[in-house]
């Protein structure tokens, strides 16, 4: 039976053994495999979905400029884990998702409750796309195909995800990297691929055949750390990234899709853990993501921001430094001119504090 299942599992990546690759599948070092198919079935059998609204229009949509030169940094929140980062004359998209559903199907699966915060036709020319892993809410092939047809961006992915994209876009410009490796995009801007605690799958048969990762963008104006999905674990990944790359100008961290905890805790931080990660990273300016767009777990629509507010109240240092945006809003992030731990500038944008 095992051999039959392995034959159905696509060989997205072949390479040497490592501390997170056993020759067939990737894994989180020192962590048990929590995302077994039987646990997924159990969750679906007993899940208790919290209320979510029907589809509604956003009060505002963002119309970004063509580019932002030099050390200027503009963040446009498209929604979920999709963010438009504009700096150094480059336009960078994270985990781009413009489809109606986060699903392999057009007729079923999690459906967005708001339109994207930036219309696809309102995007400036996209230079770089960062995709953290292959779950459908992070690697949406319909959107990737549209981006390639219109913009021809460079696409950076963790190992194995390049194979998934090349099945649809054989000639795409893709760089696949392992944890600890990097891509020099242009002089002065390098993307580092960093470890996080998560998993991957696009079907029951390809579990953990492609790697998952976070990205660290090293720019002349400061470093930007982007996490698409991650469990907190013991915080070692965040502290290690801070030790290798800190300090950071901005951290983009997920706060949603975290209930029920018996199933989600290993791979999705709740807001309290996201604030812990923010502490581990040295308390940089932080943009929360992964909420109020797709119902992917049992977490309620308003629950992530409510729980984030409670977590922020427990630390006065979070005030003004953790800045949620509604999809369609943007943030001009100022350069820090003083020690962030001493309450330096916080980069005001169109979004409001909690």
Q: What is the mean pLDDT of each run of 10 residues along the chain (354 residues)?
A: 49 95 96 68 76 96 98 98 98 98 96 98 98 98 98 98 97 98 97 97 94 98 98 97 98 97 94 97 97 97 97 81 97 75 40 48
- pLDDT at position 37 is 64
Which of 111, 67, 114 is closest to 87 using CA atoms?
Answer: 67
Range of the domain at 271: 57-334
Query: Which structure tokens are listed for 164?
Result: 């998934």
Q: Looking at the domain assignment, is residue 284 inside a domain?
A: yes
Alpha carbon 248 to chain centroid, angstroms: 17
Q: Looking at the domain assignment, is residue 183 inside a domain?
A: yes
Q: Which residues contact 288 (CB under 8 A, 6 or more apart)?
A: 253, 254, 255, 271, 274, 304, 305, 308, 322, 324
Q: Looking at the domain assignment, is residue 6 inside a domain?
A: no
Between CA 148 and CA 55 the distance in angstroms is: 28
Query: Which structure tokens are listed for 225?
Result: 């750390």
Please state the domain count of the chain: 1
Between CA 170 and CA 324 the distance in angstroms is: 38
- pLDDT at position 35 is 59
Query: Which structure tokens are listed for 54?
Result: 């029907």
Q: Looking at the domain assignment, is residue 88 inside a domain?
A: yes
**Burial of residue 43 (number of CB atoms within 10 Å: 0-12, 13-18, 19+):** middle
Q: Looking at the domain assignment, is residue 121 inside a domain?
A: yes
Q: Looking at the domain assignment, is residue 86 inside a domain?
A: yes
- pLDDT at position 11 is 80
Query: Which structure tokens are listed for 231?
Result: 């469990």
Q: Looking at the domain assignment, is residue 264 inside a domain?
A: yes
CATH of the domain at 297: 3.60.15.10
- pLDDT at position 339 is 54
Q: Looking at the domain assignment, is residue 339 inside a domain?
A: no
The DSSP bridge pattern shows strands 214-219 and 154-158 to be unpaired
- pLDDT at position 6 is 43
- Backbone φ and ψ for 299, nearest 5 degrees, come out as -65, 135
What secondary structure letter does DSSP report for 227? -
- pLDDT at position 48 is 82
């Amino acid at each position: 039976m095992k051999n039959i299942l392995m034959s159905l599992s696509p060989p997205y990546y072949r390479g040497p053994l490592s501390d997170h690759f056993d020759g067939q599948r990737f894994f989180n070092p020192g962590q048990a495999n929590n995302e077994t198919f039987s646990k997924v079935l159990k969750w679906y059998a007993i899940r208790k979905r919290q209320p979510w609204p029907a589809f509604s229009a956003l009060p505002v949509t963002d119309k970004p400029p063509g580019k932002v030169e030099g050390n200027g940094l503009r963040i446009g929140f498209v929604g979920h884990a999709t963010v438009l980062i504009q700096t150094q004359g480059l336009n960078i998209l994270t985990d781009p998702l413009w489809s109606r559903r986060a699903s392999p199907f057009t007729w079923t699966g999690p459906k967005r409750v708001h339109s994207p915060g930036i219309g696809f036709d309102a995007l400036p020319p996209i230079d770089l796309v960062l995709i953290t892993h292959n779950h459908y809410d992070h690697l949406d092939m319909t959107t990737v195909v549209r981006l390639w047809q219109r913009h021809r961006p460079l696409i950076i992915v963790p190992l194995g995800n390049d194979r998934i994209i090349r099945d649809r876009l054989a000639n795409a410009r893709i760089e696949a990297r392992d944890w600890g490796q990097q891509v020099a995009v242009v002089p002065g801007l390098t993307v580092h691929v960093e470890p996080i605690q998560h998993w991957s799958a696009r079907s029951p048969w390809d579990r953990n055949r492609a790697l998952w990762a976070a990205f660290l963008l090293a720019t002349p104006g400061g470093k930007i750390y982007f996490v698409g999905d991650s469990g907190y674990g013991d915080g070692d990944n965040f502290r290690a990234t801070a030790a290798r790359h800190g300090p950071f100008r901005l951290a983009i961290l997920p706060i949603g899709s975290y209930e029920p905890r018996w199933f989600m805790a290993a791979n999705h931080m709740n807001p309290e853990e996201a604030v812990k990660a923010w502490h581990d990273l040295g308390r940089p300016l932080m943009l929360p993501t992964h909420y109020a767009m797709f119902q992917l777990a049992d977490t309620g629509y308003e629950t992530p921001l409510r729980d984030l507010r409670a977590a922020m109240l427990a630390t006065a240092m979070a005030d003004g430094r953790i800045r949620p945006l509604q999809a369609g809003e943007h943030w001009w992030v100022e350069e820090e001119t003083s020690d962030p731990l001493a309450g330096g500038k916080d980069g005001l944008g169109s979004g409001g504090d909690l």
